[in-house]
Amino acid sequence: MGAISLAMIAATILLFTTVDPWMPYTGLFAGGFDLDVYRDGARHAVAGLPLYTDPVIHGLLYTYTPFSTVLFVPFGLLPTGTDKYIWMGINAALLAAIIALCWRMLRYRITVRVVAVSVLLASGCLFLEPVRTTLFFGQINLVLMALVLWDASRGERSRLKGVGVGIAAGIKLTPAYFVLYYLVLRQWRAAAVAVVMIAATVGVGWAVLPRDSWQYWSETFFDSTRIADESHAANQSLRGALARIIGDPAPTWLWLLLVAVAVSVSMWVAARLHRTGETLLSITVAGLTSSVVSPFSWSHHWVWFVPLFVYLAHRALKNSWWWLAIVALFVAAGSWSYRWPDGRVVVGLYLFRPAWAPWDVLVNLYLVAYVAVMGGAAAIAFRRSPATSKTSPSSVPSLPLAA
């Protein structure tokens, strides 16, 4: 416990010392912009104002589905001034719950020790840049990932399997990728339930906000320019990398070709991992790939580094060499700060511009990390036999981290 506790405490200290928490536009407690958008979008809907043709608060455009607006209405009940801190606290608690769910998917029993370890690891995972940025903006990425993980953790015969993916996709479109994941795994019922739930969310949005729904599904849905330039450094997707390397806009045919390759290879690996009993790593591979193939993936969409971190910790319990992979993950995805020549302070190694590293490598760092993860996942998938991979809960080692 000693070394792990110290490491997690150090990560937590780094979270608050690398950047002044109150620094304007960068400090952890100086954000909440996306939470403002969720709340203001809901207020627009309640007041009968257009959602998608005019900017909402901070001059930003609303890009979420009409169904999401219905769910965001309760955000308007949060007290002004403390709302972002309440939402940040809820997300921090959800992060610990996600980590506990990951341990459960690895077949650990949920005990007081596992809960304590999950809280400890959550404090360290707050330093991961996608998690910190999610908290900073007041984003919903952890909520969406929790829904997908809860869905994936359910037995194949569960009638509820697919509900979580469907709701998540109804809020934000990217989780619809997991319908394909279920189809590849031949979990037909789960895929069908997810599709029905997605259709239901569209129906709810249309029933409550018919005018905005027409605007969204007939026009806004197809307009990717509402987000930002594809070459934006924070667009850590394959299309973003192509736009930065080749030029903006990147050739659509090349992007689609590479997306097809990424989806095919990753699904092949994910399916093999699932058959060998590596459920958590399988869904993590799919989650990371969804960020890669999405036309635009902000860095905070990469919260799928969290279940990857838990999986690496699980492997490290048996082989200490895996701690090297954990260190590499923290170095690549940590909330390291950097001051640009113009005085701006940015967070995330992918935004660094030091003389000692090629800019094209750093600015596409999450894509580079993804390739490394896929290589490791493929090695695990094809070194294990499906016939010998089933592990009972009693055969999984207990967690010594919080002993």
* Per-residue pLDDT tens over the stretch 24-33: 989 999 999 9
**Which pLDDT belongs to residue 356?**
66
Query: Which residue in this structure is represented by tokens 């580079």?
Result: 368
Q: Residue 347 is inside which H or E element, if any?
A: strand 345-347
Look up residue 372 and give its DSSP letter: H
- Please answer whether residues 126 and 95 qualify as being in contact, where contact means their C-beta atoms are separated by less than 8 angstroms: yes
For residue 253, what are the domain limits?
A: 2-388
Q: Per the domain annotation, does 398 fall within a domain?
A: no
Distance CA 188, CA 355 (A): 51
Under 8 Å between Cβ of 107 and 396: yes
What is the structure's pLDDT at 393? 40
pLDDT value at position 225? 67
Q: How many domains does the chain have?
A: 1
pLDDT, residue 78, reads: 85
In what helix (H) or strand (E) does residue 144 lie, and over which residues does it extend?
A: helix 141-153
The C-alpha angle 274, 275, 281, rounded to 5 degrees, equals 25
- 345 forms beta bridges with 339
Q: Is residue 40 part of a domain?
A: yes
Which residue reads 């207990």 in tokens? Answer: 398
Give the residue from 149, 169, 173, 170 showing the smallest Cα distance to 161.
149
Residue 393 belongs to some domain of the structure: no
Give 396's Cβ-side CA count (13 Å radius).
Answer: 20
Does residue 125 belong to any structural domain of this protein? Answer: yes
Q: Would residue 396 count as lying in a domain?
A: no
Q: Is residue 379 included in any domain, yes or no?
A: yes
Two tokens, residue 348: 């995330």
Q: Which pTM does this prediction carry?
A: 0.93
- The answer to whether 166 touches 197, Cβ cutoff 8 Å, is yes
User: Residue 326 falls within a domain, yes or no?
Assistant: yes
Helix, coil or strand: residue 386: helix
Q: Which residue has the tokens 């010392």?
A: 17
Burial of 67 (0-12, 13-18, 19+ CB in 10 A): buried
Other CB atoms within 10 Å distance of the CB of residue 61: 17
Q: What angle is formed at CA 26 by the lines to CA 41 and CA 223, rounded to 5 degrees?
A: 40
* pLDDT at residue 357, rounded to an integer: 66
* pLDDT recorded at residue 10: 86
Domain annotation covers residue 397:
no
Q: Extract the residue ranges of the chain whose pLDDT is less than 50.
A: 391-396, 401-403
Helix (H, G, I), strand (E, B) or coil at 223: coil
The pLDDT, as a whole number, for residue 36 is 93
Q: Is 378 exposed, middle or buried (0-12, 13-18, 19+ CB in 10 A)?
A: middle
Q: At what angle do helices 83-105 and 33-47 cross, to 10 degrees?
A: 110
